[in-house]
Amino acid sequence: MAACAPIDAELSRLVSGGISISLASCSPGGVPNMARGCGCRVAPDGRALTVLLVATPAAALLDDVRRSGRVAVVFSQPSTHFTVQFKGSDARIVPTEADDPQRAADYVERFAAELAALGYPGDVLRTLLLACPDDIVAIRFTLAAGYSQTPGPQAGAPLGGPA
């Protein structure tokens, strides 16, 4: 697995902004599981991510992460197609911070604003992602690998080695 450069300020701003977030895991039987993210924090050194999720719809993925520590997270900005995927093998479920419910609510509004600019109504997104604050969980992992997935010739290229 390719090593991954730390997330710089610009990338940090992107992945913490109103961007589509999805996660995948793998069950012991080899069947993948998946869930949508509802917010993201980047560690100050840029080497770890904490992704917020709504626990109930992510139950199977959370089970896999507890068991294997492996996770994949993709971020994609609909307006630009900018897409990046990070992988971790030490993922664990960590306690949420006090401002995480607000962070998740802000995320949904920022993402809705991004989509509104493209003509998509926001109520569907809010219905999909707005969660009861008690149901928010966080997964933290250090970046084991990162890839560009923006459509085009560079799709699949690693984000670079350790800095």
Partner 1 sequence: MKIRLEAIRDCLEGVIPGSIATASADGTPNIAYLSQVQYVDGEHVALSYQFFSSTRRNVLANSLARLALIDPFTAAHYRLTLQYLRTETEGALFEGMKAKLAGIASHTGMAGVFRLLGSDIYRVLDIEQVPGRTLPPRKARRNPLLALRRCSEALRDCADLECLLAEALAALAHHFDIEHAMVLVPDALHEALYTVASRGYQSSGVGSEIPFGHGVIGVAARERAPIRIGHFSSEYAYGRAIRASLSASGQGDRLETEIPLPGLQDVRSQLAVPICAGGRLLGVLCVESGQDLAFDYDDEDVLVALAGQLGATMLLLQHGADGPEEAVRGRAAVATAGGRPLVVRHFDENDSIFLGEDYLIKGVAGSILWAMLRDHADSGRVTFSNRELRLDPRIRLPELGDNLEARLILLRRRLEERAAGVRIERAGRGRIRLCVERSLQLQDVPRQRPNSFTRS
Query: Based on CB atoms, which residue is closest to partner 1, 89 or 163?
Result: 89
- Asked if residue 85 binds partner 1 (CB under 8 A), the reply is yes
Tell me which DSSP letter residue 62 carries.
H
Contacting partner 1 within 41-60 (CB under 8 A):
54, 56-57
Please give the backbone phi and psi of residue 105, each rounded to the nearest 5 degrees, phi first.
Answer: -65, -40
Contact call for residue 148 and partner 1 (CB under 8 A): no
Q: Which of 3, 5, 26, 157 binds partner 1 (CB under 8 A)?
A: 26
- Options 16, 25, 50, 96; binder of partner 1; rule CB under 8 A: 25
Q: What size, in residues, is the chain?
A: 163
CA atoms within 13 A on the CB side of 98: 0
Select the residue interacting with partner 1 from 32, 90, 133, 160 (CB under 8 A).
Answer: 32
- Cβ atoms of residues 22 and 72 within 8 Å: no
